[in-house]
Structure 1
Amino acid sequence: MWSKLFPDRFSLLQTFAIIFLSVSFIVRLSLFIWDSSDVDKDILDVLLTFITGTFFDIGTLSFFMLPFCIYLILLPSKWHGSLLDRILTYTAFFIGLLIIYFSFLGEFTFWEEFHRRYNFIAVDYLVYTYEVVKNINESYPLPLLISILLTLILITIFITKKLGIFNSIFTSKIHFKQRILATSPWLIIAMVFKVFIPNNKAEWSTNRFNNELSKAGIYSFFSAFRNNELAYTDFYNTIPTQKAFELVKETFADNGDTFIEAQEESIYRNINTINPVTKDSTLIDSLKTIQKPNVIFICIESLSGKYLNSLGGDYNITPTLDSLANTSLYFTNLFATGTRTVRGMEAITLSIPPTPGRSIVKRINNTGLFTIGEVFKDQGYNRNFFYGGDGYFDNMNTYFGGNGFNIVDRGRGFLLDESITTTRTNIEDDEVTFENAWGVCDEDIYNKVIKEADKAYETGEPFFDFVMTTSNHKPFTYPEGKIDIPSGTGRNGAIKYTDYAINSFLKVAKTKPWYQNTIFVIMSDHCASSAGKWELDVQNYHIPAMIVNLPNTPNEKIDNLCSQIDVFPTLFAKLGWEYNSNLFGVDITKMSLEDERAFIGNYRKLGLLVGNKVMILGDQKKANFYKWQIQDNSLESIPLDTTFLEKTISFYQVADYLYTHKGLKLKE
């Protein structure tokens, strides 16, 4: 039987299969040991993890085997061992080894960052090779890794040759029928996996780590490549569209909002706010007469709440932010909607729950949308997006430029879409003191913000600046001598430098004539690591947020459960603005205790957190209901609550409906 599956002419494929399955097992075992404290280690769980993993490895292997099987079928026997046959065989074997060794080595770096097998993030990184390759080069000894990779390949080829494998395939003269028989099993396996075995079939456990280890990295990569966007109505639980809108609208009606398109499938409404601190008419009149404050929003890369002492941490690396916690409107119970920067940008600007698949920032039809920028525009503000790298990355420039923001970035020649009419200002070389793969250091981007704010002040036009930082990102490098932790030694140093840069920025800003009339909003885009043991690790979405220098408002710690999407609607309410809105976010100070909620998710799982209960929607039309045990961040499964389920579905279904039916577009 074995000789029929791997006759002499197919013996190199047998060698490749052994190498592939062996290395894959070593990788899975290594990752299992790496996170042994988080995986379920009962004997049955361990067996299922490795058996399922091997099953997916065989499926993945079949896709590698087929191309060379087809070559072996088509090449006439008289050409076996010819120069052409030898060149093509050695080349194919080299490329195959390069792919599996590179991908398996890459899995360790990907796992270190995300604690997942390859997913849509890895797919996205293929597009932005400059930033990714530069980041890898700055984070790891790339020449050494390439040398190791090439050495492994050459040693493997040498051993294979010594074992006589190449001699067997070049001298074999098997019949055409034998070649068909040897190919057929791999063709059948590949077809079965292609048609019947989606990647999520590996998710048999309630423990996310066991599920990830049950997958094959390469198979997961191509699965993500095919499924970067998920149609909500095809993959998730739904309710009648009209009912979904009714449930969502109820939450806005309770706040006193007036719907402009009451009979339509829309959430477009008028919000007539007063300062919720007091209903005193004198104060309201004063709000109407003061100059509208400038707003500078600092979106901090990857800052988890646990790193701040003011949120319960003990790292002692954020003295500035901890100090601001006592002199600001400080959100202590706020959660990010997702796990990536573009997801945070989506939540903040569109004020929308996360939709499945990739962020709207990276999708088509993502321009001309109703964002928080439109509220600022209607109040007479100039809107600017600052980024220390090239905003081409992750489609940021197209998204922000296409939604009315001027662009200030470290451009390297990539142009905006020709249909986008906006100004683009470059961060010049003489404005840069330090730069890594992701862009200039935080101090440099803040210096550019100061320069542009000085120019805007001269015009007398209020401005809203969205500033995206980059220093708290691997390789965690920053200018030496600024803090007492050496550059490039880890996240703690990057966070401390991030905090230092904010302090320096505010010191300079306080010397400017525009400072007294400027509000600073500071919030993280997402946590440093959101992956954990559970479907969604709730605590790993907890981020800091604060509003500094807010006029006519006392400093206050807001303990209400809330989401990234609520910060700017809350700010608009504090400023007493009346505006039309297509935003899901609300003034959280108006929300009753039973209405407080937070949206959390990744590209497949969508969660609604209310109190300590969390409903999680999955892409197989599944829904799981949990009690969140805050003490150990675990999820205890509880009986499904249909009312809670419908509420969860309604928010996500309406968000997806509005995007797919162009309901997020600006009104004519």
Structure 2
Amino acid sequence: MDIIKRLKLNCSILPILVFILLSIIIFTFFRAGLVIWKYSDCAGNLGHIFFYGLRYDISINCSMFAPIFLISILSAFAGKTPKAIVTLQKYYLAVILAVQFFVELSTIPFILEYGVRPNRLYIEYLIYPKEVISMLLNGHILESVLCVVLTAAGFYFFLKFSKKLHENYTNVSRKLNGLILLITLIAVPLGLRGTLTHKPLNPANASFSNTPLVNTIPPNSSFTAFYATRHMKVDVVEGSQIYAFDKAENVLKNLKYLSARVLPDNIDEKCPINQVITPTYKQDKRRNVVIILEESLGARYVESLGGDAVSPNLEKLKSEGWWFERMYATGHRSVRGIEAVTASFPPGPLASQVKLDHPDGLTTIANVYSKLGYTTSFIYGGESHFDNMRTYFFNNGVNEIIEQKDFDNPEYVASWGVSDEDLFKKANEFFVRKSKGTEPFCSLVFTSTFHDPFDIPQNKVKLPESVKTNDPKRLTAAMYADYALGKFFEMAKKEEYFKDTVFVVIADHDSRVRGLDAFPFTNFSIPALIISPDITPSSDKRIVSQIDIFPTLLSLTGVSGEIPIVGQDLTKDNIIERAIIAYNETFGYYNTHTLTLLEPGRVVEYPVLDKNRLGEPVQREGNDYSREISYLNTALTIFEKNYGSLKCVKNLSQNN
């Protein structure tokens, strides 16, 4: 400290520079920890990791410290720096470093859950503090307390150190202060951009591995979180967020390779994605439609799909309907599953359609069945405002929403809403009441119990001894979700509406999708089952996607017409086997032969050895990925051109 005092520099310079250096040390420490953890993937690229890491560290610090830097320098022109400015600077430096420290600490559990550094999801969760705080207090209390205590201790140390740095300082001359200001005005923008190229530094610049987590080691978590915040516009995609853009005509041309679709004789230029739905099944009466969207219940929790034996009820039910062995989710968020199942909307670089505005109405299951005279509903055990679901459903054909506040005296309330048993009991009562009306009903039931922190009613289920796990709480919650599902079908089978209803049971996504070692393509495998009086029980081994549920349901319920959706009718034999997947900023196209991954700045392709294994990366002959680029741009094109508008639905009829 004596050396610092003898320097007698302007107080706007030394403390800030010292704190920037301290920040870089903290970032480097955490970065080194990740390198040690994933050393086998990083060994040949240590120079690359730490060189880019320094650039990211400088960039984020230029952004976070620039305001106080400029305030302090400008205030010094008045002569002696005002005491209020010095006090502001003391606390500002401590707060900024404490925030950076907190974000790095919270990175550890975030990576363990999602497989990458904090990103858009990290920021989105902050929008819903009630749900997040409840989740943390009920399932992550130790980690939360530890993070808060360490951050508080860090702030105390940073503030004490900051106050020490500000002792006995004098200002330099105005001439030297002017020079410092000039250097600052030049250096800060350069440091902030992190590069001399035409595009500023972004997380993709440092990518060097086929492993998503390893590619996020160079950037610090403050940078990735700040970058996500700057790109939170849900209806805008920038070049740094996508492998490549494509023209609408190319996207439309390549749709025939994405899905087996019958086109109308006369294609309307305003509705170019319309497909002709010709039902495979026609009934003498209109069937009800019930879609059960199971939270996080991926294939890893279904024994016959290669997972743990914690879904005995689903295993029993599969013998009663059309079971899909190779159904794939489009993403790792609920809103991706919702848009895929309810709107046959493919994933892409845009935010989910659940979060976007559709002034003309989006073609959804609820909208189409509403046009056919059905009553439509969304039944959820939590609060429907979460992730904009309430707005999405009400704006797109749902007549009635039942949510947590509508449950009278539920037996158990968890962090994310009432228990699945309460949910299904309410749903069954609702369906019984609706079945007494003159119109059929269409309903989406969305479960919530199988969600971190996995708080469930006690003494309902017990893991079988054959299941060995280091995460019993998660697997027990999965088993409870299956238990509640079984109870629902026990109730439903006793009711009159059951024999007149098409049921779909499908997961929204898998639990804990994370690419710690490679792209986690097996984590997108999910169970799916359709139970209907008209279906002969069978097991389907084709590779299919959540986006195929909508057109398949239309066919099963005798609906015909021109519908602007991308998926394919799985009742037909000539489908295209494929799955399309979005994982953070990586887009995947998966078929029987290859898995192609497109992410900002790079493309990787793997041969498919079997449904659970990939080979080593290969280079495609001619390096032509034009079709995959079109698939990547499909969602963006449909949204921007309004090709999925409800106005495009034509010649709609049922059982004709």
Asked if these proteins are the same fold (TM beyond 0.5), I'd say yes
Match of 1:40 in 2: 41
* Paired residue type of 2:483: Y
Match of 1:248 in 2: 255
Which of residues 275, 283, 290 in structure 2 aligns to 1:288?
Answer: 283
- Residues 273-422 of structure 1 mapped to structure 2, 5 A cutoff: 273-275=279-281, 287-289=282-284, 291-313=285-307, 315-365=308-358, 368-410=361-403
Deviation at residue 471 of structure 1 after TM alignment = 1.0
Note closer, same or farther for the CA distance 1:191–1:212 as it changes in structure 2 (3 Å cut).
closer
Deviation at residue 381 of structure 1 after TM alignment = 1.8
Note closer, same or farther for the CA distance 1:20–1:561 as it changes in structure 2 (3 Å cut).
same
Match of 1:281 in 2: none
List structure 1 segments (4+ residues) > 6 angstroms apart after TM superposition: 2-6
Deviation at residue 470 of structure 1 after TM alignment = 1.0
Match of 1:155 in 2: 157
Distance in 2, matches of 1:401 and 1:367, equals 13
* Paired residue type of 1:577: V
Match of 1:574 in 2: 556
Match of 1:17 in 2: 20
Note closer, same or farther for the CA distance 1:180–1:250 as it changes in structure 2 (3 Å cut).
closer
SS at match of 2:358: coil
Match of 1:461 in 2: 439
Match of 2:545 in 1: 563
Match of 1:272 in 2: 278
Match of 1:479 in 2: 457
Contact 1:294 1:517 in 2 (8 A): yes
Which of residues 430, 437, 443 in structure 2 aligns to 1:452?
Answer: 430
Deviation at residue 344 of structure 1 after TM alignment = 0.8
Distance in 1, matches of 2:23 and 2:82, equals 27
SS at match of 2:138: helix
| Residue 106 (structure 1) aligned with residue 128 (structure 2) | no
Distance in 2, matches of 1:206 and 1:551, equals 46
Which of residues 208, 214, 235 in structure 2 aligns to 1:210?
Answer: 214
Deviation at residue 362 of structure 1 after TM alignment = 0.8
Distance in 1, matches of 2:149 and 2:370, equals 54
SS at match of 1:346: helix
Match of 2:476 in 1: 493
Distance in 2, matches of 1:610 and 1:644, equals 17
SS at match of 1:75: helix
1:271-307 CA distance string (max 9 Å, x none): 11224xxxxxxxxxxx431x32222211111122122
Distance in 2, matches of 1:208 and 1:307, equals 24
Note closer, same or farther for the CA distance 1:476–1:365 as it changes in structure 2 (3 Å cut).
same
1:151-205 CA distance string (max 9 Å, x none): 22113333555xx42215x445464146336735344312445953122112133
Deviation at residue 481 of structure 1 after TM alignment = 1.8
SS at match of 1:464: strand
Deviates more, 1:644-653 or 1:330-339: 644-653
Contact 2:117 2:213 in 1 (8 A): no
* Paired residue type of 1:517: D
Deviation at residue 247 of structure 1 after TM alignment = 3.2
SS at match of 1:213: coil
Contact 1:258 1:271 in 2 (8 A): no
Contact 2:213 2:515 in 1 (8 A): yes
Match of 1:527 in 2: 510
SS at match of 2:554: helix
Match of 1:91 in 2: 91
Note closer, same or farther for the CA distance 1:29–1:589 as it changes in structure 2 (3 Å cut).
farther
Aligned residues: 628
Match of 1:470 in 2: 448
Deviation at residue 495 of structure 1 after TM alignment = 0.5
* Paired residue type of 1:515: F
Contact 2:135 2:453 in 1 (8 A): yes
Note closer, same or farther for the CA distance 1:351–1:5 as it changes in structure 2 (3 Å cut).
farther
1:393-427 CA distance string (max 9 Å, x none): 1110111110011343446xxxxxxxxxxxxxx42
Contact 2:90 2:162 in 1 (8 A): no
Contact 1:560 1:588 in 2 (8 A): no
Contact 2:328 2:545 in 1 (8 A): yes
Deviation at residue 75 of structure 1 after TM alignment = 1.9
Contact 1:255 1:590 in 2 (8 A): no
Deviation at residue 520 of structure 1 after TM alignment = 2.1
SS at match of 1:364: coil
Note closer, same or farther for the CA distance 1:358–1:256 as it changes in structure 2 (3 Å cut).
closer
Match of 1:443 in 2: 421
Note closer, same or farther for the CA distance 1:240–1:24 as it changes in structure 2 (3 Å cut).
closer
| Residue 258 (structure 1) aligned with residue 259 (structure 2) | no
Contact 2:377 2:443 in 1 (8 A): yes
Contact 2:72 2:81 in 1 (8 A): no
The percentage of counterpart residues that share the same residue type is 26
1:564-620 CA distance string (max 9 Å, x none): 011232233234432331111112242437x21111123422222121312333344
| Residue 197 (structure 1) aligned with residue 201 (structure 2) | yes
SS at match of 1:385: strand
| Residue 657 (structure 1) aligned with residue 637 (structure 2) | yes
SS at match of 1:585: coil
Distance in 2, matches of 1:453 and 1:251, equals 36
Contact 1:259 1:267 in 2 (8 A): no
Distance in 1, matches of 2:518 and 2:359, equals 28
Deviation at residue 33 of structure 1 after TM alignment = 4.2
Distance in 2, matches of 1:7 and 1:233, equals 43
Runs of 5+ unmatched residues, structure 1: 276-286, 412-425
Deviation at residue 320 of structure 1 after TM alignment = 0.9
Contact 1:431 1:444 in 2 (8 A): no
Note closer, same or farther for the CA distance 1:319–1:617 as it changes in structure 2 (3 Å cut).
same
Runs of 5+ unmatched residues, structure 2: 465-470, 649-656
Distance in 2, matches of 1:642 and 1:568, equals 36
Match of 1:610 in 2: 591
Note closer, same or farther for the CA distance 1:257–1:177 as it changes in structure 2 (3 Å cut).
closer
Distance in 2, matches of 1:112 and 1:106, equals 10
Contact 2:329 2:581 in 1 (8 A): yes
1:482-535 CA distance string (max 9 Å, x none): 12269x963112101111111121222222222222232111111113331577
Contact 1:79 1:85 in 2 (8 A): no
Note closer, same or farther for the CA distance 1:356–1:63 as it changes in structure 2 (3 Å cut).
same
Contact 1:360 1:366 in 2 (8 A): no
Contact 2:380 2:423 in 1 (8 A): yes
Deviates more, 1:376-385 or 1:333-342: 376-385
Distance in 2, matches of 1:643 and 1:329, equals 39
Contact 2:59 2:192 in 1 (8 A): yes
Note closer, same or farther for the CA distance 1:348–1:632 as it changes in structure 2 (3 Å cut).
closer
Note closer, same or farther for the CA distance 1:218–1:562 as it changes in structure 2 (3 Å cut).
same
SS at match of 2:17: helix
Distance in 1, matches of 2:101 and 2:388, equals 31
Match of 1:278 in 2: none
Contact 2:203 2:216 in 1 (8 A): no
Deviation at residue 238 of structure 1 after TM alignment = 5.2
When the two chains are superposed, the root-mean-square deviation of aligned CA atoms in Å is 3.1
* Paired residue type of 1:266: P
When normalised by structure 2's length, the TM-score is 0.87
Distance in 1, matches of 2:227 and 2:376, equals 38
Match of 2:652 in 1: none
| Residue 646 (structure 1) aligned with residue 626 (structure 2) | yes
1:325-373 CA distance string (max 9 Å, x none): 2222100011111111001111111102112131111123376111122
